[in-house]
Amino acid sequence: MQDFWWRTTWPLLPATILCLILWPTAGAVTALLTFCLSLCALLTLHLFNLRKLLIWMKKPDLNNIPEGNGVWDDTFANLYQELRQHSRSETQLMTALERLQQAAGALPDGVVVLNETDQIAWCNPTAERQLGLNLTQDAGQPISYLVRQTEFSAYLSAQNYSEPLALKSARNPDISLELQLVPFGENQKLLICRDITHLEKIETMRRDFVANVSHELRTPLTVVGGFLETLNDIEGAVPENLRHYFDLMQDQTGRMRNLVEDLLTLSQLESSQSLPQETTIDIQALLATVQAEGQNLSAGRRQQVLIEYIDSSVNLRGNQDELHSAFGNLVNNAIRYTPEGGEIRLRWQLRDKEAVFSVQDTGIGIEPQHIARLTERFYRVDRSRSRETGGTGLGLSIVKHILTRHQARLEIQSEFGKGSTFSAVFPAERVVHTATEAPAPVASLTR
């Protein structure tokens, strides 16, 4: 800083000495006038250099840096160094950006960068092909203007991007795409687009194979089961020494028939593209039916099944048969995994405007590491116990598919050794309020 002041003011030193010499010889007025003229000359020099700087800054050029005197020479030199450093950094950033764009362009999946207002900032060639975009023409355009599909617009506005969206390509209906939005930065998003046509064909083949095999197995199993029942009804047809094997055949045939029926149900749910036919469901009547079926299943085990209506004035809009199946599967699971003398409580209530059907049991409970996989097909926490209880391993998969078709979700809470609570949570738009509110009874039946 001291060097700066010295280099800035040293041109005044000769003028000051000259003024001191002129003061006694030519008078004070002449000396002051000479000093003022020296100050004006110095100010003119600074203004001249400042003008050169302003002119250069309007169009910076590293090959044409202005030249100056004194402190201005240092200023121009430092400015040149800073500009060179900035130019090197800009070049490095541009190189890194080009490499990133080249890498993204080589990806087999489409990538679209959206700004805070969902406008296209950049996309790779794969996204251009899959979504029909043109980066040169479409940059800065809202993505909803270019991907004009109702499902995508709803997905974009819902702002719930935890699950991807599957839809058909607007350009080629034979191509299936999977889109997922990934938020990043300051309200920006990445739109990742993947061609899942091949995977969907494989999944369709799997569903068709399971459905066809299950359908083909149904008839012979029905015949075998019918003959076994007929023999069982004929007195003396089965010798007592073979009764154990006969009962085992009946049990295993019944188990296989249940498995086939569940496979067919799951296959129909997975392959159905149409929305279920919906009506306003009388929840009290449905739960009474589910309770009675549960009572029959728990016959001889002295289990207590309770129905608790916390919000009895609330009904539900949905498909009667599908929800009957979903609720029944939840109750059946609770009965199978609750020891003799236990309690199963069915509860219907409103929670934050959502309707909740929950099944709470005092069964064996589930360890935390198993909960996330319970809705997978044939996943079993305890295979030996599942065989004992007669479960097929498909009940919760069926429940999940039915709830998904009703825009609902399954919540599972469990404590190992103490019991579990399975809750079907339905969105507020499916809730139907009745005109009058009936009392909130607690009904129970004990077998």
> DSSP letter at 435?
S
Q: Among 195, 219, 234, which residue terminates a domain?
A: 195
What CATH number is attached to the domain comprising 184? 3.30.450.20
Other beta carbons within 10 angstroms of residue 6's beta carbon come to 12
What CATH number is attached to the domain comprising 395? 3.30.565.10
Indicate if 293 and 380 belong to the same structural domain: yes
The per-residue pLDDT for range 399-416, each reduced to its tens digit, is 998 898 888 999 999 888
How many Cα atoms sit within 13 Å of 170 on the Cβ side? 12
Ramachandran region, residue 185 (left: φ > 0; alpha: ψ -120 to 50; beta: rest): left
Radius of gyration for the alpha carbons in the chain, expressed in angstroms and rounded = 40
Number of compact structural domains in the chain: 4
Indicate if 65 and 183 belong to the same structural domain: no
CA 169 to each of CA 154, 178, 195, 196, 437: distance values in angstroms, whole numbers, following the listed order: 16, 10, 9, 11, 48
Indicate if 300 and 316 belong to the same structural domain: yes
Indicate if 168 and 295 belong to the same structural domain: no
The per-residue pLDDT for range 80-136, each reduced to its tens digit, is 777 777 777 777 778 777 777 777 777 788 889 999 899 998 888 888 888 888 888
Q: What is the average pLDDT score of the chain?
A: 80
Indicate if 284 and 400 belong to the same structural domain: yes
Indicate if 87 and 118 belong to the same structural domain: no
Indicate if 121 and 174 belong to the same structural domain: yes
How many Cα atoms sit within 13 Å of 304 on the Cβ side? 10
pTM of the full predicted structure?
Answer: 0.57
> DSSP letter at 61?
-
The per-residue pLDDT for range 211-222, each reduced to its tens digit, is 788 778 888 888
Indicate if 188 and 299 belong to the same structural domain: no
Indicate if 179 and 326 belong to the same structural domain: no
Indicate if 367 and 429 belong to the same structural domain: yes
Residue in the structure block whose two tokens are 């002051």: 32
Q: 55-93: b or e for each residue (b if 16 or more CB lie within 10 Å)?
A: eeeeeeeeeeebebebbbeeebeebeeeeeeeeeeeeee
Ramachandran region, residue 407 (left: φ > 0; alpha: ψ -120 to 50; beta: rest): left
Q: Among 48, 81, 99, which residue terminates a domain?
A: 99
Q: Among 41, 67, 99, which residue terminates a domain?
A: 99
Other beta carbons within 10 angstroms of residue 433's beta carbon come to 10
Domain around 351: 279-446
Indicate if 161 and 309 belong to the same structural domain: no
Indicate if 330 and 391 belong to the same structural domain: yes
Pick the range with the lowest mean pLDDT from 103-107, 226-230, 253-257, 374-378. Answer: 103-107
Query: Does the pLDDT of residue 249 top 50, yes or no?
Result: yes
**Averaged pLDDT, 430-443:** 59
